[in-house]
Amino acid sequence: MGLLRTMLRIREFEDRVAESYLRGMTAGSMFHLSVGEEAAAAGAGAAMEAGDCFTTHHRGHGIFLARGADPGRMFAEVFGRREGYCAGKGGSMHIADIALGHMGANAIVGANIPISLGGGFAMRYLKTGKASVAFFGDGALNQGVLYESLNMAALWKLPILFAVVNNQYGMGTRIDKASATSRFVERAETFGVRGAQADGMDVEAVWQAAGDLLAHCRGGGGPAFLIADCYRFYGHGRKDPSPYRTKEEEESWRRRDPIERQKRRLMEAGLLSEESHAALIAEVTREMEAAVAWAAQGSMPEPADLFRHVYA
Ligand SMILES: Cc1ncc(C[n+]2csc(CCOP(=O)(O)OP(=O)(O)O)c2C)c(N)n1
């Protein structure tokens, strides 16, 4: 039930980001929505613990929500308000919050991975018993920095989970047109890193796989690698109608909607009724409505804010 709630919250959040943009409420237009990828975020997020640290790629709203983000402060960030997680200076693609372990979303493909490597080093050096997780897309699978990081993490047996949200496309390029092989788990295993592939449209499958791998990391086994196969239901950005995908392909993935799947599973197990489902939807809708309203009343930065949060 918790996983279903998290996925519903993510979808509602993302849909309201899209709507807010159309209403002219957002600062800028650079939004990468994770609708369709909720199971990867909710499953991996639920397997993590308080005190773990993480980084995300540019499509990271859902992951941060799954790790306890306040949606009001996230909307405020997207709206460029001072009340946002980064005082409105980061926006959708650069949200960070050290209190919740979020060391930053990152707009440079693969660039968050070595930051999480440092996070993993810190976790072990400080003997926290916690783990560091780097979330990134399939577009980063052929970036050299991933393999430099896998090597160093394995060499030093650092507690890091490399978590790939494989939505099949890097902008308009399908993964098999960018990768010589699709055996990514094997690639990780050549470094001595434990790897697993999960159905990224099944939230419980992701949760279980991520939980097993994180236990391995925390138990001193060194790093791990998880690839969750999923799909983004919208375009790369809000203005992308995805002309590089067929309607049939989109439809076949939409039929595997992770939210519907979990809803069905809970209903079949007798844990969810139509009434309790409707109540859950109403609760999530109210939460996100209130979050948007709160953020929209936030304050705009003053000129003097330009010189705050600046090192030199
Ligand atoms: C180093 C680098 N190269 C290219 C880009 C342009 N770019 C932005 S997003 C993107 C696709 C990323 O795909 P993926 O990592 O799979 O994440 P997704 O957008 O599919 O969630 C690219 C190529 C970039 N931001 N950084």
Q: Which residue, by CA, sits nearest to atom 20 of ligand 1? A: 170
| Residue 181 falls inside a structural domain | yes
Give the rounded distance of the alpha carbon of 71 from its chain centre.
14
170 contacts: CB under 8 Å, gap ≥ 6: 109, 137, 138, 139, 178
Rounded distance from Cα 172 to ligand 1 centre (Å): 10
Within a domain: 311? no
What's the CA-to-centroid distance between 55 and ligand 1, angstroms?
15
Tokens of 18: 């899209």
CA of 128 to the centre of ligand 1 (A): 32
Pair type for strands 169-170 and 173-174: antiparallel
The candidate with the shortest Cα–Cα distance to 258, out of 64, 63, 6, is 6
Indicate the DSSP class of residue 199.
Answer: E
Give the total number of structural domains in the chain. 1
Judged by phi (left if over 0) then psi (alpha if -120 to 50, else beta), residue 88 lies in: left
Residues of the chain with pLDDT under 50: none
Is residue 304 in a domain?
no
CA of 301 to the centre of ligand 1 (A): 29
Residue 20 covered by a domain: yes
What is the rounded distance in angstroms from the CA atom of residue 231 to the CA atom of residue 248? 13
Minimum CA distance residue for ligand 1 atom 8: 109
Q: Is residue 144 part of a domain?
A: yes
* pTM as predicted: 0.98
Residue 269 CA to ligand 1 center (angstroms) comes to: 39
Residues 6+ apart with CB under 8 A from 115: 55, 103, 104, 106, 134
Q: Which residues of 297-306 are buried (b: 16+ CB within 10 A; e: fewer)?
A: ebeebeeeee
Domain that residue 13 falls in: 2-297
What Cα–Cα distance (Å) separates residue 191 from each residue in 124, 146, 155, 224, 238? Answer: 19, 12, 8, 10, 37
Q: Is 32 in the pocket of ligand 1 (CB under 6 A)?
A: yes
Task: Give the DSSP letter of residue 135.
Answer: E
pLDDT at position 28, please? 84
Q: Six-digit token pair at 112?
A: 């968050």
**What is the CATH classification number for the domain harbouring 54?**
3.40.50.970
Which strand (E) or helix (H) includes residue 215?
helix 203-216
- Check residue 239 and give its pLDDT: 84
61 ligand 1 Cβ < 6 A: no
Backbone angles phi, psi at 246, to 5 degrees: -85, 155
Q: Which residue, by CA, sits nearest to atom 25 of ligand 1?
A: 108
| Inside any domain, residue 192 | yes
Q: Is residue 310 part of a domain?
A: no
Question: What ligand 1 atom has the least distance to the C-alpha of 107?
Answer: 25
**Element spanning 4, H or E:** helix 2-22
Q: Reduced to 3 states, what is the DSSP secondary structure of residue 110?
A: coil
Contacts of 245 (CB under 8 A, 6+ apart): 169
Tell me if 240 is assigned to some domain.
Answer: yes
